[in-house]
């Protein structure tokens, strides 16, 4: 068991990057519900796509050689023997000087080797006049042109985005093997917390926000989240809850209980687990310095600060893309823009600060303003448009300095 | 009834922008499932947040005046009468020269008007030595500091993002009125289409992709989608299906059946509805010129091309953000980047083309390459990284020219 000292933001990010996938179990699911899942086995097509020769245009399927010499002033006459719409099975094969109407996507009659577009034809009852010669192969989509039978169409590890699902659907595949979603257990700790079922709040109590907001934020990364409830700051209750959480899930996220106050049992509790590696205990950031990251065998525990604003900031900065990587979901692009600071901003020396900011526009120029409520206020999160990073050794950012704003 | 001529991309976008919300019905839902929904009534808080005076720090709640004069070399002695953790109800009020321990977030005892941080104190059994004076109000969060009782906390029309849900949760609100999701009916038309349950494809038949891919793309805009099945290219079947779809939903999206071939009934059918306004019939784009947009009273019908690649491109260019606006979902930011073209690209004059492209990197420089399969190939969608727009009058883009790539 080792306790690391408070570490820097970049060190923590490196530790998280070094963790690879947690889940290797597979499940077979319908492609209707496979969006954004990760394929766990190479998938081969059992058919050619298309599996029949088809027309790329509305026109007449012909024996190309029959059209040679056709021009606007030298119409060639072919006998129309059949009309083939998309979905029809051609009933007749072409003999010399015969043709069949084919709609776009329709199957071609045997013996045909070219299609003359409707624009270059004129129909007179059972006769079609051709005004343009075609070479063999014109406007024909050959068997397997798009996908060949036996070809690997989707590789193990691929993300099932819409285009990839389209490939499966077009090959007639209705189920696919994917990795199971990582399971996350979420716990809110704190004697002060009550859920929204409680009608009349006692003095000292507050409504738990993390069970709803943090839960949804975690869910949005593609993992399964199970909220295990509000746990009292009491050794036995917390131990029981964490044991259940470790049993049930791959990742355990607790909120609350990481600071130095007397009521904080999280760190004490973790120390007692055998095989635990506490990799991070405290990160030099504000808000939310207290953050713990530990591994027990192949399971992972995070303890986040209790204030919803701090918990959610920590989540976005460190855990969001980590969980997306673990579940295979597309990472969140951090959308950022450089702007000037509109009012002096203060920061604490010795902490890397993620300062919530508001963007205000005057005379068409957007500027950065600090939000003055602290991390204890839920409204801080509500009014913030994004955050700026303030380095450990900076204490003041003067009006007019340019900073990069990361938007939420 | 009016048929418009083929219109330009920008005109179509303007028509779509002019359509306002379709749904005004409301429903009351639990905040656990309200993410990305739109609030339909102003919401007021029925409580103050916090609803009791609390400490911002771990420390000692004091009567500020008792600490005046305290310094490192002039310690002031107070009697410790109580320990108040977060969640506790204070049992004692302070008298002169008394103090209570308060954890961060704990309720303050009556009469206290300041908190001395733990760092500036020393405890000796029932006595606390104070080494720093505090002014009244220090480290106290007053009642209603964050949210005031009766205040409108979320306005009608607001999107329920995580921060907004956090505000509701912290006020103890567990249900909220939201607008119902718009209902979309989706139909695939075409005699050639079969679903993935079919094991042995006959000649002429292909698997329907839009029922899975387009359905998911539509779902991702926050609307409810009901797939009404594969409809044969047969007037009676199609009429019955469209009637049911109009009855059941706010928006009807058909794929297939918009081009000029003989098997296309969509436009013919629409003409027969009373009160129909066919606002768009054909847009000068490639792939997917045939697109129809019509209004029947307050319902909307789109007919998209049948090829999945064309259907999905049309969907992304025109319908995606339109549906997001209607459902209130955040719009999709079009992420784009300017790069050089790596190989000559051809286009058809007279059509505004959305050309699927692949990005390849040579010697660290990313370049744009055309994808050579057409819109009939599902693999076009699969291999494309994004698309470039090619103006109506351009026929060739030379190698080396710079273009903006919009990523999928």
**Which residues are bridge partners to A84 per DSSP?**
A102
| Residues of chain A contacting residue B172, judged by C-beta atoms under 8 Å apart | 196, 198-199, 201, 207
Domain holding B389: CATH number?
2.40.340.10
- Asked whether residue A305 is assigned to any structural domain, the reply reads yes
* CA-based nearest distance B268→chain A, Å: 18
For residues A200 and A299, state if they share a domain. yes
Which residue of chain A is at minimal alpha-carbon distance from B262? A103
Distance CA(A169)–CA(A395), nearest Å, equals: 57
- Asked whether residue B2 is assigned to any structural domain, the reply reads no
Among B130, B162, B179, residue at a domain's last position: B179
Start-to-end C-alpha separation, chain B = 36
Q: Please compute the mean of the pLDDT values over residues B193-217 and round it to a whole number.
A: 94
Mutate to test the interface with B, among A203, A220, A305, A308 (most CBs of B within 10 A): A203
| Cβ within 8 Å of A, B 383-402 | 384
Q: At residue B1, does pLDDT exceed 60?
A: no
Chain A within 8 Å of B231 (Cβ-Cβ)? no
* Residues present in chain A in total: 408
Residues 6+ apart with CB under 8 A from B197: A174
Domain interval for residue B100: 54-141
CA atoms within 13 Å, Cβ hemisphere of B98 = 13
Residues of chain A whose pLDDT is less than 70?
A: 1-6, 257-264, 283-290, 334
For residues A343 and A383, state if they share a domain. yes
Distance CA(A116)–CA(A311), nearest Å, equals: 66
Query: What's the whole-number average pLDDT of chain B?
Result: 89
| Residues of chain A contacting residue B163, judged by C-beta atoms under 8 Å apart | 213, 312, 381-382, 384, 408
For residues B130 and B188, state if they share a domain. no
The position carrying tokens 């387009």 is B214
- Asked whether residue B340 is assigned to any structural domain, the reply reads yes
For residues A281 and A194, state if they share a domain. yes
Domain holding A205: CATH number?
3.40.980.10
The position carrying tokens 């429903």 is B27
For residues A225 and A286, state if they share a domain. yes
For residues A136 and A256, state if they share a domain. no
- ipTM, interface predicted TM-score of the complex: 0.86
- Asked whether residue A96 is assigned to any structural domain, the reply reads yes
> Would you state the structure tokens that stand for residue B308, as one six-digit string?
């999945």
* CA-based nearest distance B15→chain A, Å: 27
For residues A282 and A314, state if they share a domain. yes
Contact (CB<8Å) A212/B378: no
For residues B167 and B202, state if they share a domain. no
For residues B302 and B253, state if they share a domain. yes
- 3-state SS string for B356-368: EEEEEEECCEEEE
Distance CA(A103)–CA(A100), nearest Å, equals: 10
Total domains present in chain A:
4
Which residue of chain A is at minimal alpha-carbon distance from B196? A172
Distance CA(A82)–CA(A90), nearest Å, equals: 8
Residues 6+ apart with CB under 8 A from B274: none
Domain holding B162: CATH number?
3.90.105.10
B354 phi/psi in degrees, rounded to 5? -105, 100
Mutate to test the interface with B, among A162, A175, A289 (most CBs of B within 10 A): A162
pLDDT at A5: 56
pLDDT at B286: 58
Determine how many CB atoms are found less than 10 A away from the CB of residue B398: 9
Q: At residue B36, does pLDDT exceed 50?
A: yes
Q: Which residue has the higher pLDDT, B176 or B407?
A: B176
Q: At residue B4, does pLDDT exceed 60?
A: no
For residues A76 and A42, state if they share a domain. no
CA dihedral B250, B256, B260, B263 (to 10 degrees): -110
B192 within 8 A of B207, measured Cβ to Cβ: no
* CA-based nearest distance A254→chain B, Å: 17
Q: Which residue has the higher pLDDT, B179 or B379?
A: B179
Chain A within 8 Å of B209 (Cβ-Cβ)? yes
Contact (CB<8Å) B312/A166: yes
- Asked whether residue B161 is assigned to any structural domain, the reply reads yes
pTM of the model: 0.87
Among B302, B327, B352, residue at a domain's last position: B327
pLDDT at A265: 76
Query: For the segment B80-114, what is each residue's pLDDT rounded down to a tens digit?
Result: 999 999 899 999 999 999 999 999 899 999 999 99
> Would you state the structure tokens that stand for residue B187, as one six-digit string?
């139909």
When pLDDT is cut at 50, 70 and 90, the band that residue B262 belongs to is very low
- Asked whether residue A3 is assigned to any structural domain, the reply reads no
Distance CA(A390)–CA(B89), nearest Å, equals: 38
* CA-based nearest distance A379→chain B, Å: 6
CA dihedral B110, B111, B116, B121 (to 10 degrees): -90
pLDDT at A260: 47
**Which residues are bridge partners to B292 per DSSP?**
B281, B303
- Taking CA atoms, B322 is separated from B223, B225, B335, in Å, by 11, 15, 17
* CA-based nearest distance A245→chain B, Å: 21
- Asked whether residue B399 is assigned to any structural domain, the reply reads yes
Residue environment code for B277-311, b if the CB has 16+ CB neighbours within 10 A, otherwise e: ebbbbbbbbbbbbbbbbbebeebbbbbbbbbbbbb
Q: Which of B103, B107, B333 has its CB closest to that of A261?
A: B103
Q: Which residue has the higher pLDDT, B352 or B27?
A: B27
For residues B194 and B285, state if they share a domain. yes
| Residues of chain A contacting residue B209, judged by C-beta atoms under 8 Å apart | 166, 169-170
Among B280, B304, B327, residue at a domain's last position: B327
Q: Please compute the mean of the pLDDT values over residues B67-84 and round it to a whole number.
A: 96
> Would you state the structure tokens that stand for residue A390, as one six-digit string?
């303030």
pLDDT at A290: 63
Query: For the segment A134-191, what is each residue's pLDDT rounded down to a tens digit?
Result: 999 999 999 999 999 999 999 999 999 999 999 999 999 999 999 999 999 999 998 8
- Asked whether residue B4 is assigned to any structural domain, the reply reads no
Chain A within 8 Å of B265 (Cβ-Cβ)? no
Contact (CB<8Å) B206/A170: yes
| Cβ within 8 Å of B, A 17-36 | 31-32, 35
For residues A236 and A366, state if they share a domain. no
Domain holding B105: CATH number?
2.170.190.11
When pLDDT is cut at 50, 70 and 90, the band that residue B3 belongs to is very low
């Amino acid at each position: 068991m080792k306790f690391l000292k408070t570490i820097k933001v970049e060190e923590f990010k490196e530790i998280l990057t070094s963790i690879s996938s947690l889940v290797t179990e597979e499940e077979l699911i319908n492609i209707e519900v496979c969006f954004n899942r990760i394929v766990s086995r190479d998938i081969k097509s059992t058919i050619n796509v298309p599996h029949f020769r088809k027309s790329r245009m509305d026109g007449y399927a012909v024996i190309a050689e029959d059209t040679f010499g056709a021009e606007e002033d030298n119409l060639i006459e072919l006998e129309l023997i059949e009309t083939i719409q998309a979905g029809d099975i051609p009933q007749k094969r072409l003999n010399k000087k015969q043709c069949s109407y084919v709609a776009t996507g329709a199957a071609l009659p045997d013996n045909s080797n070219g299609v003359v577009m409707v624009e270059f034809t004129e129909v007179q009852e059972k006769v079609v006049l051709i005004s343009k010669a075609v070479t063999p192969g014109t406007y024909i989509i050959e068997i397997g042109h798009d996908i060949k039978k036996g070809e690997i169409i989707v590789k193990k590890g691929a993300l099932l985005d819409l285009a990839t699902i389209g490939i499966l659907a077009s090959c007639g595949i209705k189920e696919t093997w994917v990795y199971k979603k990582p399971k996350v257990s979420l716990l809110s700790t704190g004697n002060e917390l009550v859920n929204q079922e409680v009608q009349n709040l006692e003095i000292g109590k507050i409504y738990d926000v993390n069970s709803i907001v943090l839960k949804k934020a975690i869910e949005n990364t593609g993992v399964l989240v199970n909220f295990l409830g509000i746990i009292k700051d009491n050794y036995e209750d917390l131990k029981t809850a964490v044991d259940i959480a470790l049993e049930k899930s791959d990742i355990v996220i607790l909120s609350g209980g990481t600071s130095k106050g007397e009521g904080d049992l999280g760190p004490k509790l973790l120390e007692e687990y055998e095989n635990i590696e506490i990799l991070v205990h405290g990160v030099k950031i504000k808000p939310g310095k207290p953050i713990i990251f530990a591994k027990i065998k192949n399971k992972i525990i995070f303890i986040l600060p209790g204030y919803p604003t701090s918990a959610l900031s920590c989540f976005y900065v460190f855990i969001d893309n980590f969980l997306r990587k673990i579940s295979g979901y597309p990472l969140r692009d951090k959308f950022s823009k450089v702007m000037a600071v509109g009012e002096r901003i203060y920061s604490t020396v010795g902490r890397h600060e993620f300062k919530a900011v508001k963007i205000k526009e005057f005379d068409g120029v957007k500027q950065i303003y600090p939000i003055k409520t602290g991390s204890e206020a839920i409204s801080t999160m509500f009014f913030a448009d994004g955050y700026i990073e303030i380095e450990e050794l900076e204490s003041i950012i003067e009006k007019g300095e340019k900073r990069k704003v990361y938007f939420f």
